[in-house]
Amino acid sequence: MRTMSSVLLVLLILAWAGFAQTIEMGQTFFLGREGDIIVAIDTTVAVRKIDSPYIVFMAFFAARGNESLSIHRDDVTMIYKGQEYIMPTYKEWRKGYREMGDPMIYDTLGKENLANSSELRPYSFPSDTDYFATWGLRCDVGYLNRTTGFRTNLYFKNPGFKKGDELIIMVKARKNPEIKGSCGVIFK
């Protein structure tokens, strides 16, 4: 029991730290400045489909400095109410969720400019690979370098989100888990 409460305390401290370094850029777009990986999360589609069995976030990852990093899909987690969630496998997601139009909803919003008006401006974000591709190339690993970031959809099973809820998206580099980043998110 003591170990469980220690883990919960660590997650709560990480959650607070993640929110302390997050900036709301407007229009449900959040920029995390915590760590060596810049993490930006757009919650527009998640907020519109908050009752959906799977919640989607549009994520932008970029490496600070001259690092070349790889981010495996298993190294992206969500912390919500002190519990850590992993993304479903692609096969599980396809079987349990039939709404393949989520990326198209995002693309029609034209919100890429929010990413370009922030610290992400120097990076390009190719859209030809994605952890949950409905077109293009599905991948399990996203690659970052000094000029190229990784743009992807992140899906998590919906644990019962409500407007006003807060969570943190945590990311760590595959080869060196000490290199990480996070972004706090609020459902508005």
User: Minimum mean pLDDT among 21-30, 37-46, 112-121: which range?
Assistant: 112-121
**For 5-25, what is each residue's pLDDT tens digit?**
444 444 444 444 444 578 888
**For 87-128, what is each residue's pLDDT tens digit?**
998 888 878 776 655 555 555 455 555 565 678 888 888 888
Would you list the domain boundaries of the chain? 2-186
Model-level pTM? 0.82
**For 132-161, what is each residue's pLDDT tens digit?**
876 668 899 999 998 999 999 899 999 999
Say yes or no to pLDDT of 32 above 90: yes
Mind spelling out the 3-state secondary structure of the chain? CHHHHHHHHHHHHHHHHHHHCEEEEECCEEEECEECEEEEEECHHHHHCCCCCEEEEEEEEEECCCCCEEEEHHHEEEEECCEEEECCCHHHHHHHCCCCCHHHHHHHHCCHHHHHCCCCCCCECCCCEECCCCCCEECCEEEECCCECEEEEEEEECCCCCCCCEEEEEEECCCCCCCEEEEEEECC
